[in-house]
Amino acid sequence: MHRLLTVSALALAAASLATPAAAQSAGDWTLALGAHQVDPKSDNGTLTGGLSLDVGSDARPTVAFEYFLRDNLGLEVLAALPFEHTIDIDGVGRVGSTKHLPPTVSLQYHFNGGGRVSPLLGVGVNYTAFFSEDTTGALEGADLTLKDSWGLAAHAGIDFAIGTRGMLRIDARWIDIDSDVRVDGAGLGTAQIDPLVYGAAYVMRF
């Protein structure tokens, strides 16, 4: 949760300092094409027997569509190519990997109104689907399963206008991702991934 507060505080500070940007009007659409890194928090939970998990980071291309319900207030859908993460157990080493898709729907407000810089803040819901789990090392040959996750998400970013309909976006998200871990059908605990997702995108307004 401290990551969520940090991201929100940075965006609020930017909103108070930034020069307003051209307003997004009700009925506008935007398309954002970019790349983002999913960076799980450092402590990913403790399994049965006191073993600590370590889930690795990964970067992939992303795409986001946003429809403006009212002036400056948009509904965004975020999608990406599948992210792949290594899974290590402290004291044991690498035991596997998994892929996931993290579609996220957010309601977000854009602080703008005439200049070239526009901060935004959003809050929404994330669904993370895990698949293609593989095992290695101490779990070689075992059946590793990570359960899909529902959780809250927060979004903060800054758009820099490029021309009349283009923007460069620098942004970060905090996502609540918790997944039950099973090996050969036996529950081993919960992976508390809760990543920061940060990167950049080119945004086109229609």
Look at residue 25 and tell me if it is in a domain: no
- The mean pLDDT value for 122-147 works out to 96
What pLDDT is attached to residue 7?
A: 47
Q: Could you give the 3-state DSSP secondary structure of residue 11?
A: helix
Q: Is the pLDDT of residue 3 over 60?
A: no
Q: Is the pLDDT of residue 25 over 50?
A: yes
Q: 158-201 pLDDT, tens per residue?
A: 999 998 889 999 999 999 999 999 999 999 899 999 999 999 99
Q: Which tokens in the block code for residue 176? A: 């609540």
What pLDDT is attached to residue 116?
A: 85
Q: How much is the pTM?
A: 0.84
What pLDDT is attached to residue 112?
A: 76
As a whole number of angstroms, the distance between CA 39 and CA 193 comes to 9
- Please state the length of the chain: 206
- The mean pLDDT value for 142-163 works out to 95
- Evaluate the CA torsion angle 183, 184, 185, 186 in order and state its sign: negative
As a whole number of angstroms, the distance between CA 28 and CA 7 comes to 26
Look at residue 54 and tell me if it is in a domain: yes
Q: 54-84 pLDDT, tens per residue?
A: 999 999 999 999 999 999 999 999 999 999 9
Look at residue 27 and tell me if it is in a domain: no
The C-alpha torsion from 129 through 180 and 88 to 101, rounded to 10°, is 10
| Averaged pLDDT score across all residues of the chain | 88
Residue 137 carries which DSSP code?
Answer: G
Burial of residue 175 (number of CB atoms within 10 Å: 0-12, 13-18, 19+): buried
Look at residue 96 and tell me if it is in a domain: yes
pLDDT-based confidence at residue 4 (cuts at 50, 70, 90): very low
Instruction: Report the CATH number that the domain containing residue 98 is assigned in CATH.
Output: 2.40.160.20
As a whole number of angstroms, the distance between CA 34 and CA 64 comes to 9
* Residue range(s) defining the domain that contains residue 8: 2-20+34-205
- The mean pLDDT value for 77-93 works out to 94
Look at residue 64 and tell me if it is in a domain: yes
Look at residue 40 and tell me if it is in a domain: yes
Q: 99-127 pLDDT, tens per residue?
A: 999 999 999 999 975 678 999 999 999 99
Portion of the chain with pLDDT greater than 70, in percent = 88
Query: For the chain, how many structural domains are there in total?
Result: 1
What pLDDT is attached to residue 131?
A: 97
- Residue 8, sorted as left (phi over 0), alpha (psi -120 to 50) or beta, turns out to be alpha
